[in-house]
Structure 1
Amino acid sequence: MRAMQFERFGEPEVLEEAEVPEPVAGPGETLVEVAAAGVNFGDIKQMAGEQPDGPYAPKGPLPRIPGMEVVGRTADGRRVLGYVLQGGYAAKTAVRDRDLVALPDGVSAGEALALLIQGLTAWHLLRSVARVRPGESVVVHAAAGGTGSLAVQLAREFGAGRVIATASSEEKRAFALGLGADAAVDGEAEGYRERVLDANQGRPVDVVLDAVGGPVLDAALDSLGHLGRLVTYGASSRKAASALDPSRLAVENIGVAGFWLVPLLARNGAGGPVLEELLGLTARRRLRPLVGAEYDLARARDAHEDLLARRTKGKLVLRP
């Protein structure tokens, strides 16, 4: 069957098209004929050999087929969305049954792929970690991105009293407002507190979802009110935040928590009621996942290069 694989670790140029044997589904698995595969930064990190001995990294010798998200059909005709540790960039892949969910009518392949890792992350940030309550104010950093754009919409869906988006350009801030944010401001660290409090009608905020890190995280802590919570789930700035002083957290009654989806998927699987809820919201058009460019599978290298160069918007899709 047709697949994209890499025989050595490196940059996108190590990806090569190949004919490989079809996978065989083992116990508790289902073979899926892939109609579309999602592209993630995690795929690029795997190819680069980053954290090769990590607890959730794909195992086995090279060559490997990357790809963690697939939409396709089972042998009995069901249209499904599935999560795999590797093997998505191929005509067929075997998916564990606990990582598989049926797709409702009206949800496109690109929308479904956007919901798997990014949608589940946004849901758990708000529900499982920040535990947002109705009426609370929520600040979403990088609100025009894949996870951020979904978090803005879900915060509104979950009853947030005021949703404040941060983004780096006027275009991105306008996009976040179109998704339902009440206000959108520049996310730079300098002047952050003043802009956010002004956007929250002069009051400190209840929840901040941060994927930027560094000085922005420090500034966000200064904007939290009584019993406020900051959830960190990335560090796109590649800068270190100041060391947190536990006594400050206690004195100000604020909390900081971290979240990474991969250990949760390893523990509980991707399928289940949360993903079904997200798919249902999308089918009813209460949630609008951001879908970007589509590429033929043979152009997976181009998709990776575009993603690294930040030339893309929304979920990138490969079509076998």
Structure 2
Amino acid sequence: MTFFSLIFDYFYRISPMYIQIILTKRLDQIQTKRHELLEITFNIISKLENLSGHQSAVAELSDIKVKGLNMGNGDPNSSRNDQTNINFQSKTSSGLTNCHKALEAKANHFASWVRTTKLDSLKRFTVTITPDNTAAVRAAAVEKNNSAACAKSGVTGTVATSSDNACIIDSPVTAEEAITLYKGSGDFGLAEKAVTYSGNFKQFAQKTAIDLLEVAASWEKTSMTFDAGKISSCASDDDFRAAVGATWTGLSREAALGEKTKAVTQLISSTYGDYSTFSNRYWDKLTQIKLPTTLLGEKRTQTIKEVKTMDEASKMLLQALLEVTTKNQANPSCHTKTDKAIDKPKLADECKKANNRGTTQG
């Protein structure tokens, strides 16, 4: 059996063309919806990138510390120059690496947590700086101790003096502050879902959470559950059911979708197979088809498994129709011997003679 005879036998006798119609329809629906969601998705991605950049900066800046120091002398003026420097420390290089790995892991799980059911609350962080305090001692502070941990008024550092030396009590100067945003009615605590001050990080985070929730809800409304390997994906489509009912039993759309719906369901099962047999009766047979060497004048070397688009599938059908049409034109139908001979039309004078004979006989 040639490629085209197999195509026509398969596409018109078993009607997989209806499957192609549904695939095209679903593909168009998904592409249209994705196009509609494109702008708001790009917008939320941009906001999330800004938010992620902010959170990464917070992670790196949230534990800057003044290092503890033994000045090596009781009088700073008598200390070596390098022993009077106030130094800072933050995360080690390995600490930053761990932070980046954690961010990457979160990014890889984006699809699993960006769900409306998982956006009940979001925790974000900002950096605070140790405030001034004129009423009491607080680290970081300068003190003088004799062979003891650098301390003053109950505030103790981690560095000890070796003798009666001036010293610095070490302490963080920045700290991480958590902000938990609760979804509530969907506004995450932002009145009227409107930012009133663009310099307020909390408002920016709230508005980003609101937009993320709305985008996630829009994507969830777009069904991506169509499984081309299951006949149920097609059988649930009204157009498919109506086409099957009309083709095999002449049912109207109303009947196929109404009182005869059970019969149509049985017809689909007997024609296309069920959950366990559909793939074998439909998709597996497609792999047996050999493609023509030319497709609408274009040379092809691909296999059927390499046909990835509806455009290529449509070209296959057009090529098949073209070959059949060309074949029919080359072999026009002729009358058989059993066909009734067609009388030649009578000329005007022959009609006159016939009329005269009729008058004479009358």
Larger Rg: 2
Higher RCO, 1 vs 2 (CA within 8 Å, ≥6 residues apart): 1
TM-score (norm 1): 0.21
- Of Structure 1 and Structure 2, the greater strand share is in 1
TM-score (norm 2): 0.19
